[in-house]
Structure 1
Amino acid sequence: MIELFDSDDSRAVRNKASILSFYDLVINQKKSEEFVAEFISPAYVQHNPLIANGPEALGQFFGQITRERARARVVVHKIIAVGDYVWAHVNFLNLFNDDPNDTGIAGVDIYKMDADGKAIEHWDILQLVGDPKNSAPWLAPNVSRANPNGMF
Structure 2
Amino acid sequence: MTDFTGRTAEVLFETGFHFKLEYLSETEMRYTSLMPDTKGTTEVVTITQREITDGIYAVSWVEKAGTTVQHIIDTIKGRVEAFMTWPDSEAYGGHARLYHQGSFTWLDNSDAPMSRQDLVVTFYERFFNQKDISAADDYVSEETYLQHNPGGKDGREACKTGFRYLFEHDLSDAHYDIRHVVTQDDLVGIHSLVKVSTTDVGTAAFDLFRVKDNKIVEHWDVLQPIPHDKSNPREMV
* TM-score range for the pair, normalised by the shorter chain length: 0.7 to 0.9
1:146 matched to 2:234? The reply is no
- Structure 1 Cα separation of the partners of residues 175 and 198 of structure 2: 12
Structure 1 residue 86, shift from structure 2 partner: 0.5
- Equivalent residue, structure 1, for 2:216: 119
> 1:57 and 1:104 mapped to 2: Cα distance?
26
Amino acid at match of 1:56: E
1:12-44 deviation per Cα after TM superposition (whole angstroms, max 9, x unaligned): x61111111111111111111x22121111201
> Retained in 2: the 8 A contact 1:74–1:93?
yes
Equivalent in the alignment of 1:10: none
Aligned to 1:56: 157
Residue identity over aligned pairs, in percent, reads: 28
Q: TM-score, normalised by structure 2?
A: 0.49
SS at match of 2:160: helix
Q: Which portions of structure 1, spanning 4 or more consecutive aligned residues, are displaced by more than 4 angstroms?
A: none
Name the structure, 1 or 2, with higher relative contact order (CA <8 Å, separation 6+): 1
State TM-score, norm by structure 1. Answer: 0.75
Q: Name the residue aligned to 1:91.
A: 193
Match of 2:132 in 1: 31
What is the distance in 1 between the residues matched to 2:230 and 2:175?
25
Corresponding letter in the other structure for 1:77: R
- Select the residue among 108, 113, 128 that pairs with 2:225: 128
* Kept in 2: contact 1:26–1:62 (CA 8 A): no
Distance 2:77 2:183 in 1: 8
**1:94-131, CA deviations, whole angstroms, 9 ceiling, x for partnerless residues?**
1xxxx4201222111111111x221111111110023x
Give the distance between the partners of 1:129 and 1:57, measured in 2 at CA: 28
Question: Aligned-pair distance for 1:73?
Answer: 2.0
Where structure 2 has 5 or more consecutive residues not aligned to the other structure, the ranges are 1-73, 79-113
User: Which one is further off, 63-72 or 102-111?
Assistant: 63-72
User: How many residues end up aligned between the 2 structures?
Assistant: 127
Aligned AA for 1:38?
D
- Greater per-residue strand proportion: 2
